[in-house]
Structure 1
Amino acid sequence: MALVEREHIDERAGRLSEATAGDFIGLLKPRVMSLVVFTAFVGMVLAPATPNPLLAVISMIAIAVGAGAAGALNMWYDADIDAVMSRTAKRPVPLGRIEPGEALGFGLFLSVFSVVILGLLANWMAAGLLAFTIFFYAVVYTMWLKRSTPQNIVIGGAAGALPPMIGWAAVTGTVTLESFVLFLIIFLWTPPHFWALALFKTDEYGRAGVPMMPNVAGKAHTRRQIFAYAVLVAVCGVLPTVLGFAGLAYGIVAAALGGGFVWYSWRVLRDGGADKNAQPEKALFGFSLVYLFAIFAALLCDGLIARFGG
């Protein structure tokens, strides 16, 4: 079925669409972009330097555009998969609102534009990281890993974890242990977040031909992996306090959030197979979104207090 959808999409590739501005905005994955911008901004605030406000704003715009470019390239290539999954079927390419060629050209243009602007106005370290992020998400993850290995999310999660490091580099021109810890929090968070989703979307991933962990290794193995990663996330979440670039108040918040993440993951491990409606998995998926936002919001508050409060 996925092959039929791909052929149907390719047949439309030579025709121009009547897409609206809203369709092109949807192509940028605005919800994912908002998370990228937020975590990159946190990295910028925590960095041990004060950027020029105008250049900081321009840098954030460039990072947002780069994230949108990666999303557009992903939607171009994954249109056949998107068309057979309820979560993604209403995206603009599978709906025919935007032609595949338009999505590809749009994504490539924004990729080059964002990297060049960030390099010229911030520094080329940050620009190089942004270029690598786009390449890794669009080529390494989307074109290779997603369709070939159940470790797709584990390895591919690096792309989504790089924004705070890019924000840090945009201010300092360097990559440090502190920025790597910010990267590590998101990197370790990604597998349990997406595997929780995959547990109650197993049939859809199977129809789409995506080898997610529950489809390949089984749900019981996936639940054990989720719990193991949750423990790592909880430990990593308190590292900013342990390493001294966040305060005790942040550490307490991070420990509480990490405890919640472990608890929800334990419920999935303990009760997931017994609940036909996948309520533990859905609860974990929802909490994981809260966790990532809250942990970076706590980092942001801690960084702002350290910068302006004393």
Structure 2
Amino acid sequence: MIRTLMELTKFRLSAAVTLSAVFGFALGGGRDIGPLLPATLAVLLLALGVSALNQYQEWESDSKMERTKRRPIPSGRVHPDAALAVSLALIALGTLLISATLKTTGLLLFLFVPLWYNGVYTTLKRHSAFAVVPGGVLGMIPPAIGWLAAGQSLADPEFFALGLLFFVWQVPHFWLLAAKHDADYRAAGFPTAVEIFGDTGFRRVLCVWWMLTVLCALYTAAIFGIRSSVILLLLAALAAATAAAGGRIPFRQLTAERASTLFRGINLFLLGTMTLMSIDTI
């Protein structure tokens, strides 16, 4: 039962999303973990809820894809109505908790997430491979919650840089996942960037977004101002290695295995950058 619930709510992905709120708190200079604990719990509850709601919305499409046909709803382990009830309960709990913690600003951000993710983005991605671009806005919300919990303002230039990094990173992150499962997505009727651009064109466009992610990370580090020379050298080495890997994207065939490797690479780049910057801030 617990395992099924974790699958329905995409617990591992939701936990990773919650981690970005912790990074936002650390980079915001937060010291009192009092506001952090309820804020991160609220982010986790919301992430679990919108993930379950997304599975409810897409279970018929999931049943057509090899990667997703064994998920709780298409496999018959969970009735769609039960999944809907669980998702709405989690979203409500998370929203109530963030409202009590961060008041109106937190409430508005949380109300925006299901409207944008489950309303706009989930609908749009059935019709356009570019849905990930407006959908990337959602990547800014968890670090924003952490930033607010640290007592900072979303108008701060530092948060603009941080939010921009999370926004841009979402595009290669999602497109590489879609490229890894390209046949599955097409079978389910989802348009893909590979289908639109062709293999060569897609690799070129992917390379641009990959390099933009690296540049945004460097911009974020510059805006925050890295104090430790060791951290600065590690960030520079990480950025150089990631840029070198991205520079090879247009020249090598993007097989499912290579897309998977690059997917892990861009995720580890963001994780490494956030970890190093957080250590420097602390």
Shared fold per TM-score greater than 0.5: yes
| Pairwise CA distance, 1:76 | 0.6
In structure 1, what residue type is equivalent to 2:280?
Answer: D
Please say if residues 261 and 284 of structure 1, whose CA atoms lie closer than 8 Å, have aligned partners that are also in contact.
no
Consecutive aligned runs of 4 or more in structure 1 exceeding 6 Å deviation: none
Please say if residues 111 and 131 of structure 1, whose CA atoms lie closer than 8 Å, have aligned partners that are also in contact.
no
Larger mean Cα displacement after TM superposition, 261-270 or 183-192? 261-270
Name the CA distance, whole Å, in 1 between partners of 2:243 and 2:85.
Answer: 43
Relative to 1, partners in 2 of residues 1:160 and 1:291: Cα closer, same or farther, differing over 3 Å?
same
Relative to 1, partners in 2 of residues 1:250 and 1:149: Cα closer, same or farther, differing over 3 Å?
farther
| Pairwise CA distance, 1:212 | 1.6
Please say if residues 35 and 150 of structure 2, whose CA atoms lie closer than 8 Å, have aligned partners that are also in contact.
no
Name the CA distance, whole Å, in 2 between partners of 1:29 and 1:200.
Answer: 19
Q: Which residue of 2 aligns with 1:166?
A: 145
Please say if residues 76 and 100 of structure 1, whose CA atoms lie closer than 8 Å, have aligned partners that are also in contact.
yes
Larger mean Cα displacement after TM superposition, 209-218 or 258-267? 258-267
| Pairwise CA distance, 1:279 | 4.3
Q: Which residue of 1 aligns with 2:47?
A: 67
Match of 1:297 among 268, 271, 275: 275
Residue 203 (structure 1) aligned with residue 183 (structure 2): yes
Match of 1:124 among 104, 109, 117: 104
Larger mean Cα displacement after TM superposition, 186-195 or 64-73? 186-195
Name the CA distance, whole Å, in 1 between partners of 2:109 and 2:231.
Answer: 27
Please say if residues 177 and 260 of structure 2, whose CA atoms lie closer than 8 Å, have aligned partners that are also in contact.
yes
The C-alpha deviation readout for 1:155-177, integer Å capped at 9, x for no partner, is 21221332111211233263122
Please say if residues 272 and 281 of structure 1, whose CA atoms lie closer than 8 Å, have aligned partners that are also in contact.
no
Name the CA distance, whole Å, in 1 between partners of 2:225 and 2:14.
Answer: 26
Please say if residues 130 and 193 of structure 2, whose CA atoms lie closer than 8 Å, have aligned partners that are also in contact.
yes
In the alignment of these two chains, the number of paired residues is 280
Name the CA distance, whole Å, in 2 between partners of 1:263 and 1:93.
Answer: 41
Q: How does 1:265-284 map to 2 (within 5 A)?
A: 265-272=246-253, 277-284=255-262
Q: Which residue of 1 aligns with 2:75?
A: 95
The C-alpha deviation readout for 1:248-304, integer Å capped at 9, x for no partner, is 54443333323233222222210126xxx4543332122122112212211221222
In structure 1, what residue type is equivalent to 2:236?
Answer: A
Residue 43 (structure 1) aligned with residue 29 (structure 2): no
Name the CA distance, whole Å, in 1 between partners of 2:30 and 2:103.
Answer: 14
| Pairwise CA distance, 1:116 | 1.5
Q: Which residue of 2 aligns with 1:26?
A: 7
Q: How does 1:180-259 map to 2 (within 5 A)?
A: 180-247=160-227, 248-259=229-240
Name the CA distance, whole Å, in 1 between partners of 2:239 and 2:51.
Answer: 29
Q: Which residue of 2 aligns with 1:137?
A: 117
In structure 2, what residue type is equivalent to 1:182?
Answer: L
In structure 1, what residue type is equivalent to 2:103?
Answer: N
Name the CA distance, whole Å, in 2 between partners of 1:196 and 1:187.
Answer: 15
RMSD, aligned α-carbons: 2.0
SS state at 2:78 partner? coil
SS state at 1:286 partner? helix
Please say if residues 164 and 183 of structure 1, whose CA atoms lie closer than 8 Å, have aligned partners that are also in contact.
yes
Name the CA distance, whole Å, in 1 between partners of 2:157 and 2:95.
Answer: 24
Please say if residues 178 and 192 of structure 2, whose CA atoms lie closer than 8 Å, have aligned partners that are also in contact.
yes
Query: TM-score, normalization: structure 2?
Result: 0.91
% of aligned pairs identical? 27
Structure 1, unaligned runs of 5 or more: 1-19, 305-310
Larger radius of gyration: 1
The C-alpha deviation readout for 1:153-203, integer Å capped at 9, x for no partner, is 122122133211121123326312212222221211122122223233221
In structure 2, what residue type is equivalent to 1:154?
Answer: V
| Pairwise CA distance, 1:220 | 1.7
In structure 2, what residue type is equivalent to 1:269?
Answer: P
Please say if residues 192 and 225 of structure 1, whose CA atoms lie closer than 8 Å, have aligned partners that are also in contact.
no
